[in-house]
Every structure is written in C-alpha cells, then in structure tokens.
Structure 1
Amino acid sequence: MTIGQIDRRNFLQFSAATMAAFLVPGGALPVQAGTVSHGLSVFGDLRYPAHFKAFDYVNPEAPVGGKIAMTAPNWTFNQNPQTFNTFNSFILKGDAPPRMERCFDSLMVRAFDEPDAVYGLVAESAQVSADGNFVIFKIRPEARFHDGSVLNAEDVAFSLNTLKEKGHPIISQSIKEMVSATAPDEHTVTVAFSGNHSRQLPLLVATLPIFSKAYYTRYKFEASTLTPPLSSGPYMVGRYEIGRFIEYSKVENYWAKDLPVKKGHNNFQVIRLDFFRDRQATFEAFKKGRLTFHEEFSSKTWATEYNFPALTEGRVVKKEFAIRLPSGAQGWFLNTRREKLSDPKVRKALGYAFDFEWSNVALFYDLYTRTQSYFENSTMKAVGLPSQAELALLAPYKQDLPEEVFGEAIIQPISNGSGQDRVLLKEASVLLEEAGYERSGEQLVGPDGKQLEVEFLSNSPAFERIVLPYIKNLRLLGIEANLRVVDPAQFQKRLDDFDYDIVGHRFSLRPTLGPSIRNFWTSDSADTFGSYNLSGIKMPVVDDLVEKALNAASREEMITAARALDRVLRAGYYWVPQWFKAFHTVAVWDMFGIPNDMPAFDFPVETTWWVDLEKAAHIDMEN
C-alpha cells in the first residue's frame, strides 16, 4: 500500500546536463542569482519555456464532463482509503478521504515529464536570492478562493507558517528548515530558509496547499471537522456519505482553468471515491459498474478472476502501463523500539523464514520480482561492491558499521521454492541462538525465559493468504507469530503511535530525493508520532547520509549518497522486503480517453484522462 503514502505517483527525476552553470552556495536552487523565473528545478534547466501553452503529456482539447468512480490506489498524510471522519487532510488527527488535496491550489505545480521541475500556478514567478536562502514568489492577482474572495500573499504566508507549526508531522518535519514566510505586500511572498536546507525544500514549499487566512480566523486549523473547508483548487467537496463515498465536483468558474499548467487537466466533472473494508467487495463493485476504474493489486485476482461477463463482452478492458520510476520500498517493517526486535540477528532471522520464491509461484502467479533495496528499480539502488565515492562517505563510521556494509550489497536469500526451505530455516535458527535464544520443546525462549512472540498488524484480511504461510515457518522456529487484523481507524492510530511489532507498508520515493526522506529514517523521526520511520531507525550515519543526499550539488553526488545509505539500511535488517512489479495493472470500463503519452514520472489518471462519450454510449454506460 501506499504512501504515501507519501503519494506513490508523485515521483521526480531530472538530467543534470546544464546544472553547473547555475550553481549557487549552500542549499540554493540552481537558478541564476536574481533571475525571475516561471519555474524552479533542482539540478538543471526547465523543459518548458516561459510562455508554453500546455504540458506535452496532456490533451489540451480533451472534453470536460462525466465521472470517474474508483477507490483510492494511493493516499497521503492522514488519509484513509477505507473510511473517513474528517475533511482536514493536513493534520495528524482523524481520517480524511484521499484526494482532498485536489481542492487546494499551491504556488507551483509539478511537471510529470520532468523529474524535479515545478511551474507557476498561484505564483506567476519565483526569484532565488544569491545565497539561496530566500525565494520571492509573485502572486497572480486573479487568484481566488471558491467563495470569490481574493487569494493573496497573506494567505500564502499564513498557510506555510501554519503547516510548519500545526501541520501533519510529515509536512512539519519536512519543512523545518523553512525559517519563515512573510508577505511584504499583497502580491509578494518571501520565504526564508536556514541555509541548511536541501535543494528540494523550496520546491516542496511551492507545492504545499494554500488556505484562507480569513477562514481560519473563524475555525481552528488543527480541528478535525466534517465541514468542508474553503479552498481554491479545481475541485470542491460535493456529495458524500461518511465512510461510504465522497464526490469531488469540478469548480465551473475555477480561476486558473486557462493557465498553461492546468490546460488539459481536471477533465472529469466528478471524481467519486468509494470506500470498502475489503478487497473482494471493491472488486464486486467494479464488476457491476459501480466503479469504472480499478487498479488491481492482487496478482491472484488479476490472473484468475477477470472472466466476468462485462469483460468477455468487451465492455471492460484490462490494461498494463509500464512503471518508469522507482518502484518504492515495500515490505514488513520491524519495530526496533520493541526490545525483542532490537537485535539485528533476530531481524535477519525473521527474513530467512519468508519464502518469496514459493509465494511468487503459488500465490502471485509469478508476476512479481523480489524487492532488495529501499531504492528499488532506480539508479540509487546499491549493487555489487561500494564505489570509492561511497566508501569515502562510509569511512568515518566504519567502526560502528557491520562488515556487510563494505562488501557486496546485501540481497535476500533465494529459497528452494518449497515453502519450507530447511537450509534457510536452519540458518535462521543459528542466528537466533547467537542472539541468545534457546529451543525449549516447541518454543524459542529468550534470556528472559519467555517465548519469542511477534504480531503482524494489518487492516485487511486480504494479506492472510500471504502472511499465514510465513507465520507457519516462524512457528517452526519456535516463534509464536500471529496476524491481527483491525479496523482502518485503529490501524492508523496504532501506526501513528508505533504500536506494533511488524507492519506491512509501501513507501515510494522520487528520483530526486526530497526532505520527506527525513521522515523515513532519521533519528528525529524515530521519536515523532505519525512519522514514516516505522522501524524506529536511529543511527548517526543514516542521519548524515540523508543530509548528504539532500544537499548534494549534483545528481551524481545524490546517487552516491543514496547508494551508501541503501547499504547501511539493508545491513540493519530493519524490514523483510516484499516484492514489486514494473507495470500498473488496471481494468477500466471502456469509456475513457487517454493521452497518447503518459508521463514518465507519474500516473495521473484522475487529472489527465477524460470521458469519451462515444465509447461510453457504445458500452451503454450512463455517466
């Protein structure tokens, strides 16, 4: 699942070919000092000139209208794909529906055919100071909230400062090196940075939601509420039933609809999200046409259950879209805050008990590849022996690191595919003995005289068929292992409070690393409730390598730091890696228009597809 999920599709990457000509000191952006620009990037020039008409990956003439109905394939912050009880998506409290971010504008928006470029939306331009510690944004005078009130510089400054002070930890921690945001006049925002900030931070700040300062003088920003907030984006909250569905309705008089960054976007009149507690109910709703788009994450279903009448009649079609970006880190994360999981030998042993090769054939229909890296399917993945540049970064910490870090990059053991590889289970037993555990009958007993017990936490019974064979192998080792399935709200609460032994999750990273990675692995995030540091990693070398990656002067330096970081994390055995596939498996009711070229760094279905009325009529779908 995601993130995201930190949002699993907002991935970025870029070429550094012309970066050197624009470098400025510290954490500055590679924009020539004093230049007023229509966009910003991290490592190079902008693809689109100042007066471009539309992004290349959209259809500027796409018709507007109709509806897409779906469940959320990804989500972020406090959003929950199975239920909701608040419309405040940018705080820790409550469960918000995915896609609330569609209701809010930002200073700039990303171009998904570039890895790390943003272009002006509310801000018509940006200017970076010579030292890189200030960015001045000029606000478009025509920007408006949905009630017709002016969106001005004070709203922007209020929003950024409020998010730093009261926003969801994923946001507040990511922008902690933003010192202040001020509004010297109605159309100017000056954002100050500490000088220790990453190159990505100004871009992140430029893409955060903007709130109405006047609205939040009447309402508490930090309150969980079912009153849809005043917003300014292309959609607003429409019809909804709490915990069942929400519809986002297109704003007819949206102030920015004719800007180049919005041309060809937001073509659906309604984006509807339905909420289900289990996968099978979701699939049945799709088969009946209640949902019209469905991204399938079950290999068993994809391989064996797409044989219903609407598909055989051609009204539903299966599609596969190549994933041309990092696949992310998906696995079972082991909570080292628990004493029983604090020893890396114990964690390594737990990994030996998972038989991926058997699972892939018996359960996944051979659709997946084993995940090995936190940066899987990207140039940041560590392979083979470390380079000299990597060794230089690791050398100051050599005495504190296991020898494995300096050898071949760690890969997961390959089983014999039997589902119960005795050789690997024997190796796991040896590791557990070295960690101080002894076998007492059928139980594995620790120095405290108690049997080792672990619990897998999940919010869906769909994982039972995968987890239960794994649990069987753990029990063969004498470990009392169990799966606990809880409701979505309880799951999120326990996740936020780090109240679990083992939890399955997926994180996706952008090709250009941003401040959000501090929330995954750094010491500060390990103690911040609601962070994504699920394993509780606290290592000075990790903290240092994260900062090295974020403050790299070139893409090559960033990749080197990421590879060194990957080696350290993998040698810590903080997770049991799962699997990935290099394509999106999607089924749709055949009623949509799709741009000819999907962008390389995102999968923007809701924002760039449209309803094709002829196709909809052909399959007799009302929309």
Structure 2
Amino acid sequence: MYRCLAAGLFCIAASLFLPDAAFAGHAIAMHGGPLYPADFRHFDYVNPEAPKGGSIVFGATGSFDSLNPFIVRGTSAIGLREHVFESLLARGYDEPFTLYGLLAESVDMPDDRSSITFTLNPKARFSDGEPVTVDDVIFSLETLRDKGRPNYKTYYSKVSKVQKLGPRTFRFVFDADGDREIPLIMGLMPIIPKHVYSARDFGSAGFETPIGSGPYVVEKIEPGSNITYRRDPNYWGVELPVNVGQNNIDRLTYEYFRDANASFEAFKTGIYHARPEDDPGRWTTGYDFPALRDGRVRKEVFESGMPSGMYALVFNTRRPALADRRVRDALIQLFNFAWVNRNLYYDAYVRTQSFFDGSELGSHGLAASKKERELLAPFPGAVTPEIMAHGWQAPKGDPSGQDRENRVRAVSMLKQAGYEIRNGRMADVKTGRPLAFEILVATPSEERLALTYSRMVKRIGVEATVRNVDPSQYQERRNNYQYDTIFNSWFSSLSPGNEQSFYWGSEAARMPGTRNYMGVTEPAVDAMIAAMLEARTREDFIAAVRAMDRVLLSGAYIIPLFHQPEQWLALWQKVRTPEKTSLYGYRSGTWWIEEK
C-alpha cells in the first residue's frame, strides 16, 4: 500500500494516479493510496490545540418525531448519525474518498475487492460502557439490511457472507457483481449495539434514547422543537488521530423553527449561533442588523473543492411534447441566466455548465481525452461534436432581457423539430397542437423562477403553465413522474459511485421513486456508469465520469441553472474555526468556543 509521507497538494495528486493494490493497514482509498501515513497525528484541517468546552446552538426548520435515523418511518432529529453513531472507518475530508481507522483499528482488502477484513479496536466502547464486538457488527448489518432504509438493503445485500476470523477480526465477502465501491461503503456502515436494539422494535419511530459509540450522547429533547447532545466525558476514541481537534464543544443544540424567515430572525437575536446561507438576497442585503454592525456576528466565505452539483429545470422525456431533443434544446436556449441572475439574485450566482462543475470531474471547457473517446467509441452520436470538443457551453444571455439571438436560434431549432408560429403560438405543423408544458413547483422561490421562465418562452409562442401544489401532492407526483417539468438538485461528490445508477440509469427510469426524473434510457450513460464503478485508477475514473457528464449534457435533459461560487456562513463571534478549510469546505465538527 502506498503511504504519502508529506502533506499538501503534491501528495494528493500523487496518490490519486497510482493503480490500486491490495490494501493492508490504517486506511483504504477508492483510488490510489491515502494522503495521511499510518503514524499521522491529526487531519490538516483541524486545530489540534482547540480548547474543549462551551456550547453552541444550530438552527433547523421543520420538526422531528423520531430518534432513529436509520428507518423510513418518521422524521429523525438532526445530528444523530453524526454525533451518536460511529462506523468502522472515518472519512478524511482532504481527499475524494479515503477512510481511516475508527471502530476498526486496521483494514485489509485484496486487489480484486472481493472481500474486506476489519480488526476492531480493543478500546472501542458504546456509551453505556459495553465493548463493541463482532456480534454487534453482524447484528448491525442484518438489522439495517432487513429493517433499515432502502439504500441499506441495496448496498448491504451485496455481502454474501460474514466470516468470524478471531475475537476482534471479521471479513465481509461480496457477491460477484464486481462493485469496487462496496468495500468502502461497508467501512461507513453505522454500528449499533446488539444488546440494546435487539430488545427494541427497530422499525418503529419514537423517542427511546439512542445508544451508540460516538463522541456525544443525547442529553435532552423537546419533541419536534429541539434536541441537545452532551459530549461524553468517557468517550473511548478521543485520542484517535481521526478525532484529534474535533468534537470540541461540550453541548450541541439543534433548535427547530417554522420556516426560513423565523429562523433568520432567531439568528439575528442570538438564539442560535451558526447560519449557513443560501439566499443571495439575504446574504447581500439582509445582514445589516445590530449584532453584525457592532461585531458580535461575522460573515465568512469558504472555498470548497467539491463539485457544484446540479440544480436544474428537469424535462420529463416520458412526456410526448418533451421527447424530442431538438425541442428541449430550443427551450434551453430561452433561459436568460444573465437577466435572471441580475434581477432576481443580485449577480451572486454562477451558471452551472457541468454535473460536476468546479472540479476535476467536470467536462466544461475541456476537450475529450483519449480515454474518454475510447469509452464513447461504441456509442456514436451519444455526444455532440461541440460537447466532445469543449464541453457544454451555456447560452450567453443578455442582462437587458432582450436576448434576441437566442430566441432566433430557438425558433430555428423548433422549425427543424416540426413546429411553426401560428397566430402567435408555437404549434406542430402536422397536428396544429400548440407546444405547451407545465412547470410543477412547491415553494415560493421555485414559483418565482418558473414564472420568470414562463414569460421568456411565451415570447416565441410557447405556453408554460406554472402549477404550485402542496408538498404531499408534489412528492407523490414526483415519485411517479406525473409532471412535465420540475426543479431538482443533485448533490455531487468527488467520488460518485453506485448512486449514479439511481440518478441516470435506464433501469431506474422505469422504476417509481428513483431520482432519474428525466427518464434517461441511454445505453451510453449505463456504460459510463459501469466504467466508473470498474475503474482501478483515478485517471480511468475521471475519464469515465467526464464521459458520462458529456453524454448527459448532450441529451439536453435539463436546463442547468446556477450555484453558489463559495460557501456562505454567518457566525456569532464565540464560534471559532480552523485556519485551513478541508477539500469539502468547512466542517462544524472542527469548531470550538471562545467565550469572552
């Protein structure tokens, strides 16, 4: 196994392009080797001298009715998985996907990844003092697989058998589907105590006190209103390298508010102390209040190496009116981002031009590499020549709102698709049927953007009706693909994997409840996902992801919208943060409190 002996970007780059080998030791990586050596003392994005103590309140919206974060039933309180329950390995946030020892002190994995072997740390304890055992691990696997959320069943069913190799050592053996990500997914499996949860109805939501091995315990709750976690003074893993400089604050409270406006008013008065912001209007003009003016509150901007993710207006290609790619291409031309950004969002957003924008995984601005072209060769026509040459390029737009060139281009595209303007309406030449579709929305912000776009398409005779429905109806229609267009966000990581089949796979398009909202059934996409999951080097992995990105963008399944260029965060002054930010941006677990 490769071990990088120096910190910094050179080490990250060097480790990413090494071929996979058999791993044995303190960490495993999805590709290449880990950044930190076996004798590392702490992650670089923490302050190892951070003082312990103090308290912090976080804001949340909505409510909760469960203390079980592992089941579908009920809405669980925020923080349980993060603070109370631990996994065998812990993620390092300076790397795309590398895991270091936590409950397991060592890990072994053969080159073919047909199995993975863990040895538990002899010091590992649950908060009630009982040791973490192999039986607890097996119980966790079986319980989460059989009674937990559907994603647990999907992943953990790939374990064909568990072998006990000693009092603290065990092996997961996998089925033969060749999923190279599954060993790491098993390293992140939460471990629950058998002696506690075997006596409970695991599938029921409720307020029984959760017991885990993590650094915090639940101290008190007001159902639906707030939950407080107390740092466990007897926490077994406080001196582990993955924990040094983290979990510094004695008490963490999550206070729930009715909506975003009520939450912001509470933050202004100091009811809670840390507020991530995603409203550009509020970030630009809303923070002129006494506590900020007199220095008790500060605004901070954090850089992140994470992909932007994709926020988009989604075309449901299952609908006849939107099945033609030329029609979708024309509708993409009509979204005037320059005007929208200036007039609705204070020019605070950046146009998204890739499913993995802002990272090495994105295809925007890059010609397809030799490896990408080899992957795409069996699928001629799956990627447009333009996107093959330089990635997808968003229409430029016009901040004045005129945008005549894009409208002319859209009309020409629709003419090629068999449409013409009749009596002021865009209509099918053969049937006379007007080109019309519905935009389904569930929030005021979505409705405002949808109405704006509706006015844009109407200028060439296309009718876009905006329908605002209640959340339950919206969820039902979305799950069953009963819409023409919707807004949706897809999170992107630096190590996309199995979830991509759930997002874009052909099989997912035919199943209700997936996130393939567009109805993509493109063999080239399926092949790129398979290549991504089979990749043995970071170079091959990046090529597969970029190729998939190009195929999706060539399909014109969505109107890519926009994203924040940085992470926006407002903090009361007592909350302190480390000097260095992780590759994933800020991490609240690394903060500490300095009371004046």
Normalization by structure 1: what TM-score?
0.85
CA distance in structure 1 between the aligned counterparts of 2:423 and 2:526, rounded to whole angstroms: 43
CA distance in structure 1 between the aligned counterparts of 2:322 and 2:147, rounded to whole angstroms: 32
Query: 1:249 aligned to 2:230?
Result: yes
Query: 1:88 aligned to 2:68?
Result: yes
Structure 2 CA distance for partners of 1:393 and 1:49, relative to 1, 3 Å: closer
Structure 2 CA distance for partners of 1:155 and 1:524, relative to 1, 3 Å: farther
CA distance in structure 1 between the aligned counterparts of 2:307 and 2:278, rounded to whole angstroms: 17
Is the 2:311–2:487 contact (alpha carbons within 8 Å) kept by the matching residues of 1?
Answer: yes
Is the 1:88–1:224 contact (alpha carbons within 8 Å) kept by the matching residues of 2?
Answer: yes
Query: 1:66 aligned to 2:54?
Result: yes
1:474 to 444, 450, 457: 457
Per the alignment, residue 6 of structure 2 pairs with: none
1:273 to 254, 272, 277: 254
1:240 to 221, 230, 243: 221
Per the alignment, residue 386 of structure 1 pairs with: 368
Task: Give the aligned residue type for 1:324.
Answer: G
Task: Give the aligned residue type for 2:22.
Answer: V
1:608 to 577, 590, 595: 590
Shift of 1:319: 1.1
Per the alignment, residue 521 of structure 1 pairs with: 504
1:108 to 84, 89, 93: 89
Query: 1:359 aligned to 2:350?
Result: no
Task: Give the aligned residue type for 1:233.
Answer: G
Per the alignment, residue 6 of structure 1 pairs with: none
SS of the equivalent of 1:542 reads helix
Q: Give me the CA root mean square deviation.
A: 3.0
Shift of 1:433: 4.9
Q: Structure 1, residues 268-287: CA drift from partner, whole Å, max 9, x if none?
A: 22322333453322221111
Structure 1 unpaired stretches of 5+:
1-11, 24-29, 73-80, 615-623
CA distance in structure 2 between the aligned counterparts of 1:295 and 1:19, rounded to whole angstroms: 31
Task: Give the aligned residue type for 2:392.
Answer: I
Q: Structure 1, residues 425-460: CA drift from partner, whole Å, max 9, x if none?
A: 3433444455455656565566595762312323x3
Normalization by structure 2: what TM-score?
0.88
Per the alignment, residue 3 of structure 1 pairs with: none
CA distance in structure 2 between the aligned counterparts of 1:405 and 1:228, rounded to whole angstroms: 53
Per the alignment, residue 8 of structure 1 pairs with: none
Shift of 1:200: 3.2
Query: 1:140 aligned to 2:121?
Result: yes
SS of the equivalent of 2:379 reads helix
SS of the equivalent of 2:108 reads strand
Query: 1:589 aligned to 2:572?
Result: yes
Q: Structure 1, residues 201-228: CA drift from partner, whole Å, max 9, x if none?
A: 3222201211233444333444444444
SS of the equivalent of 1:290 reads coil
Shift of 1:175: 5.3
Structure 2 CA distance for partners of 1:194 and 1:14, relative to 1, 3 Å: farther
1:424 to 388, 397, 406: 406
Per the alignment, residue 5 of structure 2 pairs with: none
Structure 2 CA distance for partners of 1:83 and 1:425, relative to 1, 3 Å: farther
1:484 to 445, 468, 471: 468
Shift of 1:424: 2.3
Per the alignment, residue 354 of structure 2 pairs with: 373
CA distance in structure 2 between the aligned counterparts of 1:556 and 1:96, rounded to whole angstroms: 39
Q: How does 1:105-504 map to 2 (within 5 A)?
A: 105-129=86-110, 131-174=112-155, 177-382=158-363, 383-398=365-380, 406-435=388-417, 441=423, 449=433, 452-458=436-442, 460-476=443-459, 477-484=461-468, 486-487=470-471, 494-504=477-487
Task: Give the aligned residue type for 1:396.
Answer: P
1:54 to 19, 42, 49: 42
Structure 2 CA distance for partners of 1:378 and 1:498, relative to 1, 3 Å: same
Q: Structure 1, residues 392-425: CA drift from partner, whole Å, max 9, x if none?
A: 1111111566566545422221112233524323
CA distance in structure 1 between the aligned counterparts of 2:527 and 2:519, rounded to whole angstroms: 16
CA distance in structure 2 between the aligned counterparts of 1:189 and 1:524, rounded to whole angstroms: 34
Per the alignment, residue 99 of structure 1 pairs with: 79
Task: Give the aligned residue type for 2:45.
Answer: Y
CA distance in structure 1 between the aligned counterparts of 2:29 and 2:221, rounded to whole angstroms: 38
Per the alignment, residue 550 of structure 2 pairs with: 567
Is the 2:306–2:358 contact (alpha carbons within 8 Å) kept by the matching residues of 1?
Answer: yes
Point out the more displaced range, 385-394 or 462-471.
462-471
Shift of 1:137: 0.4
Q: Structure 1, residues 521-567: CA drift from partner, whole Å, max 9, x if none?
A: 22233345443333232222111101212221211111111111111
Task: Give the aligned residue type for 1:351.
Answer: I
CA distance in structure 2 between the aligned counterparts of 1:99 and 1:580, rounded to whole angstroms: 26
CA distance in structure 1 between the aligned counterparts of 2:557 and 2:343, rounded to whole angstroms: 26
Query: 1:546 aligned to 2:543?
Result: no
Is the 2:17–2:539 contact (alpha carbons within 8 Å) kept by the matching residues of 1?
Answer: no
1:598 to 581, 586, 591: 581
Is the 2:133–2:168 contact (alpha carbons within 8 Å) kept by the matching residues of 1?
Answer: yes
Is the 1:355–1:421 contact (alpha carbons within 8 Å) kept by the matching residues of 2?
Answer: yes
CA distance in structure 2 between the aligned counterparts of 1:376 and 1:422, rounded to whole angstroms: 28
CA distance in structure 1 between the aligned counterparts of 2:143 and 2:418, rounded to whole angstroms: 49
Structure 2 CA distance for partners of 1:171 and 1:475, relative to 1, 3 Å: farther
Task: Give the aligned residue type for 1:58.
Answer: V
Structure 2 CA distance for partners of 1:185 and 1:440, relative to 1, 3 Å: farther
Structure 2 unpaired stretches of 5+:
1-8
Structure 2 CA distance for partners of 1:470 and 1:71, relative to 1, 3 Å: farther
2:561 to 561, 567, 578: 578
Shift of 1:149: 3.0
Per the alignment, residue 17 of structure 1 pairs with: 14
Structure 2 CA distance for partners of 1:536 and 1:501, relative to 1, 3 Å: same
Is the 2:32–2:538 contact (alpha carbons within 8 Å) kept by the matching residues of 1?
Answer: no
Percent same amino acid at aligned positions? 34
2:22 to 31, 39, 47: 31
CA distance in structure 2 between the aligned counterparts of 1:329 and 1:19, rounded to whole angstroms: 25
Task: Give the aligned residue type for 2:169.
Answer: T
CA distance in structure 2 between the aligned counterparts of 1:413 and 1:21, rounded to whole angstroms: 39
Is the 2:215–2:238 contact (alpha carbons within 8 Å) kept by the matching residues of 1?
Answer: yes
SS of the equivalent of 2:378 reads helix
CA distance in structure 1 between the aligned counterparts of 2:167 and 2:517, rounded to whole angstroms: 42
SS of the equivalent of 2:33 reads coil
Shift of 1:326: 1.8
Structure 2 CA distance for partners of 1:531 and 1:263, relative to 1, 3 Å: farther
Task: Give the aligned residue type for 1:358.
Answer: W
Structure 2 CA distance for partners of 1:494 and 1:255, relative to 1, 3 Å: farther
